[in-house]
Structure 1
Amino acid sequence: MHMQLLHNNKVVIFDRTDFGPSNLSLPGGSCRFDSRDIVLKMDCTAHSVLYDIGTNNYRPLMLRTDTWCSSGSVLPDGTLVQTGGYNDGDHVVRTLKPCTDDQCDWFEIPRYLLERRWYATDQILPDGRIIIVGGRRQFNYEFYPKNLEGSSPSTSFRLDFLRQTRDREENNLYPFVHLLPDGNLFIFANTRSILLDYKKNIIVREFPNITVDDPRNYPSSGSSVLLPINEMYPIVAEIMVCGGAPRGSFSQALSANFVPASSSCGRLRISDENPSWFMEEMPVPRVMGDMLLLPNGDVIIINGAGSGAAGWENARDPVLRPVIYQPWKPMGLRFLVMYPSPRPRLYHSSALLLTDGRILVGGSNPHPYYNFTGVMYPTDLSLEAFTPPYLSPEYSPVRPTIEAIDEVITYGQSFQVGFNVPQFLKYCNISVTIVAPSFTTHSLAMNQRLIMLKVLNVARHQQPGSTDQFEATFAGPSTPEIAPPGYYLLFVVHVGIPSTGKWVKIQN
């Protein structure tokens, strides 16, 4: 249900705790006792694991409170902060600090949150705080940590926009929240969107409604990305929202009538003087799809269904074919349809970008409780990896390999990347991108962003009888508003083909 890649190349994976026992015991005979659990009050099994990508091993982690439909973000020091959930977990903050000795585990802070956070959205901010927006019947936002020197006081802040966008199916849960280069927040709920100055608690402007009037947030569950920010040119901020379900789809699904999902995508250039939605059509309709930024600036849309809505037994027609969207190509040439996976990935599946450029995909549990047999779409606890076209062997001759890198990058300061390419083609086709890995759940990849850094120089060092070496000089991101402090994956991209990513830390 929830996944986050950490900077030690391990993935935190977790589900809800109130489904009964899992098939993985907690270590050392540990158990959790929860008097409010609706299924099993004494539970000695794990509902969270730490998955090691390199070794393909995992170890169980201890969750004491329910994380169903919660949210998360990563602090500048690499600590995962996970907020809210259900029942006894709705006011809880949990943290997980990456470690190399296999001793780290969840640390829980009961009653830390001021409001009940279930289906809320988290976003890291330029000052290192996390803003927690909305949740079921929560028309407000708050911050973690509550008190930071020079920041807002310890309180929650009204956001009536969330009350106004709630309909009878509550199609404003997990609002899409993106930090913009000007420091304000873009918030999208249902079909409407605003620009919020969270420091002053002021709505700076409201944008036009998305042109196709299909709800996009849970349970209609479209997806959204902030398209890549390119520091080589004047900054453009553009949001893309794709998929979802027509109005009434959730209620119809409860009566076993599965309405075809939306096939529309909208792009909104917020940096324009008078922004308006520009609409496109996906090759196939999709609800509960995950949108992720790829290191070369493309967008992948993966998982989901062709009809219905999010929720138990509420979707049909799994969409097995991922789609690659290339934002910079002309209309009509932007969508590429990929080969299918044999596994339906429906409600409570997830996806995220890995260090090597693959997409990790896991889960699917469209039933109340685990149900592995005798149903149309059994619970699926497997992991698989989708390999984007840029990893095809035919591109090996032009694929860069990073040989040396500055692991700490300061805002606005130059830094060097040493790399090689077997067949170097064009200097003008070298770029460096940094990607903030997402906390992904319920078709929403929180906190993800991609910045194309400014190229200052590319030098070639010819090595007789071996692959030529290159050293590129780039400028660090301009401001924390463009790239909040913390850990990013850095990729060298040559003629659209990315290297394997290397972890760097962005700081003042």
Structure 2
Amino acid sequence: MHMQLLHTDHVIMFDRTDFGLSNISLPNGNCIKNPRSKILPVDCTAHSVDYDVVSNSIRPLTVLTDVWCSSGAVTPDGTLVQTGGFDSGDRVVRLYKPCRSSSNTTTACDWQEVGRGLTVRRWYATNHILPDGRQIVTNDAKIENNLYPFVFLNGDGNLFIFANNRAILFNYFTGSVIRTYPTIPGGDPRSYPSTGSAVLLPLKPNAAGAEVLLCGGAPKGAFIRANNHDFVPALDTCGRIRIDDPNPQWVMETMPAGRVMGDMVLLPNGDVLIVNGAGSGTAGWEFGADPALSPVIYRPDNPIGSRFATQNPSSTPRMYHSTAILLRDGRVLVGGSNPHKFYNFTGVLYPTDLTLESFSPSYLDPKFGYLKPRVVSPGPQTKIGYGQKLPIRFTIPPGRLNSTSVMVTMVAPSFTTHSFSMNQRLLVLTRADLKPVGKSTYQIRVDTPGSGNLAPPGYYMLFVVHQDIPSEGVWIQIG
């Protein structure tokens, strides 16, 4: 499954078109005819939907070509650009320009496909938004454990790219590698199909530079052994590295349990949620076992040895083809799981599961309501520029403000598939004065990011965080 949250609070989801019939019909009795397909030459079911978070409703969308294992990102104006796929779709670019109403069924609010929009075939690729709003697409679909590379934009405008067990810093203007990083200790692969996950840790004012955290994966040879139904325990280690360190080294940590095919989601307060996946095997059809049912919270600012906290388990296995994304209300939307070559809903150990559920971090517990801020201004969809002073007004229940424990964060919504959230980044904004401006109402001034190197242009969710408890987010647009 692939997911992207848009600035309309709608989530666009899609899956490959040749798994089999889905359980959702195309609107108005429409059908797609594809004489080349041996599986579904005529298909009257939807393989993409628009999920309205507020109304908890879906609307079927139409994809004409196969989006299997594709990639994507959002343009500065909020249009979802999805690239590549398989067979008929491997060079296609698809555009989804959001509309406001879930009942709007005009062609302006459905997929528009550009055939041969890519000069080369793209499958298992990664997209990243660049400082000027363009997108770069990277992959090598021919080499095992190099698929869906982990790509992050560094503050100097270069790209940190991790694949297999090593990383480089890449200057995309010159096409040159300007730095090579040490192999991750142990040398085990972390990219698909030995699928770990990775995040760019929160970017903070006056910090020593950007850090990448990479967790889980599968040992060398695990993919071949899984093909013979020998499921090797997943890696239980995480590696953390500072991109701009003069002598960069991986700092290794141990998770509460091994995990492969997990998702890592940045939360508004700067914590990292690790969710989904399996305890053994690798990505691939029938290649995973032992569902990882218990999410884990990673607190990057805690001392080593006290950063991981196991959460209450789910009862639903979320294995191969599961996804997770942050919503504006602070919940994490979790969905999908299909470890089979086709949809297989019954009679197997881990059935295909296309349902959705949400994970609520502890900051949403009602017992913390007395600490929860509410953003008054800026209002939704406010446009801001780079390097500005931005006043933010918020309320806190009477007598509860701790002025030293207030921060403002901006979170970019990610395109998530195959255990990697493309373009996911969180910025902690520099704060200045904090003052009361009314009954239980306060104003804090923050500095907006200085350039597109820190925050590529587009939509972000802005949160006020008080004593680790975030407000609901407000959509803002920078650039």
TM-score band, normalised by the shorter chain? over 0.9
1:153 alignment counterpart: none
Q: Which amino acid aligns with 1:96?
A: Y
Q: Secondary structure at the match of 2:367?
A: helix
Q: Which amino acid aligns with 2:72?
A: G
The one of 446, 454, 460 equivalent to 2:436 is 460
2:93 alignment counterpart: 93
Q: Secondary structure at the match of 1:352?
A: strand
Bigger mean CA offset, 406-415 vs 301-310: 406-415
Q: Within 1, Cα distance between the matches of 2:133 and 2:355? A: 34
1:243 alignment counterpart: 216
> 1:118 aligned to 2:123?
yes
Contact 1:267–1:277 (CA<8 Å) still a contact in 2? yes
2:477 alignment counterpart: 505
Structure 1 gap ranges (5+) = 138-165
The one of 236, 242, 251 equivalent to 1:263 is 236
Contact 1:216–1:243 (CA<8 Å) still a contact in 2? yes
2:255 alignment counterpart: 282
1:48 alignment counterpart: 48
Q: Which amino acid aligns with 2:215?
A: C
1:400 alignment counterpart: 373
Contact 1:212–1:264 (CA<8 Å) still a contact in 2? no
The alignment covers a number of residue pairs equal to: 471
1:390 alignment counterpart: 363
Q: Secondary structure at the match of 1:245?
A: coil
> 1:359 aligned to 2:364?
no
Q: Report the aligned-residue RMSD.
A: 1.0
What are the equivalent positions in structure 2 for 1:111-190 lying under 5 Å apart? 111-137=116-142, 166=143, 170-190=144-164
**C-alpha deviation, 1:234, in angstroms:** 4.0
**C-alpha deviation, 1:214, in angstroms:** 1.5
**C-alpha deviation, 1:392, in angstroms:** 1.1
Q: Within 2, Cα distance between the matches of 1:438 and 1:367? A: 26
Q: Which amino acid aligns with 1:473?
A: R
1:302 alignment counterpart: 275
**C-alpha deviation, 1:38, in angstroms:** 3.1
The one of 309, 317, 325 equivalent to 1:344 is 317
1:449 alignment counterpart: 425
1:196 alignment counterpart: 170
**C-alpha deviation, 1:135, in angstroms:** 3.9
Q: Which amino acid aligns with 1:484?
A: P
> 1:490 aligned to 2:465?
no
Q: Within 2, Cα distance between the matches of 1:48 and 1:381? A: 12
Q: Secondary structure at the match of 1:347?
A: coil
Contact 1:121–1:135 (CA<8 Å) still a contact in 2? no
Deviations 1:67-121 (A, max 9, x none): 0000010000000000000010000000101111423000000111011101000
Q: Within 2, Cα distance between the matches of 1:52 and 1:281? A: 38
Q: Which amino acid aligns with 2:136?
A: I
Q: Which amino acid aligns with 1:124?
A: I
Q: Within 1, Cα distance between the matches of 2:61 and 2:140? A: 26
> 1:315 aligned to 2:288?
yes
**C-alpha deviation, 1:179, in angstroms:** 0.5
Contact 1:171–1:190 (CA<8 Å) still a contact in 2? yes
**C-alpha deviation, 1:235, in angstroms:** 5.1
> 1:410 aligned to 2:385?
yes
**C-alpha deviation, 1:458, in angstroms:** 1.1
Bigger mean CA offset, 259-268 vs 102-111: 102-111
**C-alpha deviation, 1:20, in angstroms:** 2.4
2:31 alignment counterpart: 31
2:15 alignment counterpart: 15
**C-alpha deviation, 1:332, in angstroms:** 1.1
2:225 alignment counterpart: 252
1:60 alignment counterpart: 60
**C-alpha deviation, 1:462, in angstroms:** 4.4
Contact 1:67–1:89 (CA<8 Å) still a contact in 2? yes
Deviations 1:155-200 (A, max 9, x none): xxxxxxxxxxx4xxx0110000001111000000100100000011
Q: Within 2, Cα distance between the matches of 1:411 and 1:20? A: 47
1:162 alignment counterpart: none
Bigger mean CA offset, 444-453 vs 32-41: 32-41
**C-alpha deviation, 1:418, in angstroms:** 1.1
**C-alpha deviation, 1:42, in angstroms:** 1.5
The one of 410, 413, 417 equivalent to 1:434 is 410
Q: Which amino acid aligns with 2:459?
A: Y
Q: Within 1, Cα distance between the matches of 2:43 and 2:314? A: 34
Q: Within 2, Cα distance between the matches of 1:454 and 1:97? A: 33
Q: Within 1, Cα distance between the matches of 2:20 and 2:335? A: 20
Q: Within 2, Cα distance between the matches of 1:107 and 1:135? A: 26
Bigger mean CA offset, 433-442 vs 20-29: 20-29
1:474 alignment counterpart: 446
Q: Within 1, Cα distance between the matches of 2:208 and 2:383? A: 24
Q: Secondary structure at the match of 1:301?
A: strand
1:75 alignment counterpart: 75
**C-alpha deviation, 1:425, in angstroms:** 3.3
Bigger mean CA offset, 417-426 vs 193-202: 417-426
**C-alpha deviation, 1:37, in angstroms:** 2.0
Q: Secondary structure at the match of 1:306?
A: strand
Contact 1:350–1:362 (CA<8 Å) still a contact in 2? yes
> 1:332 aligned to 2:305?
yes
Q: Secondary structure at the match of 2:258?
A: coil
Q: Within 1, Cα distance between the matches of 2:476 and 2:38? A: 43
> 1:105 aligned to 2:110?
yes
Bigger mean CA offset, 426-435 vs 87-96: 426-435
Bigger mean CA offset, 399-408 vs 284-293: 399-408
Structure 2 gap ranges (5+) = none
1:147 alignment counterpart: none
Q: Which amino acid aligns with 1:229?
A: L
Q: Within 1, Cα distance between the matches of 2:216 and 2:317? A: 17
Task: Among all aligned residue pairs of Structure 1 and Structure 2, give the percentage whose two residues are the same amino acid.
Answer: 56
Q: Which amino acid aligns with 1:27?
A: P
Q: Within 2, Cα distance between the matches of 1:262 and 1:477? A: 36
Q: Which amino acid aligns with 1:319?
A: A
Q: Which amino acid aligns with 2:179?
A: R
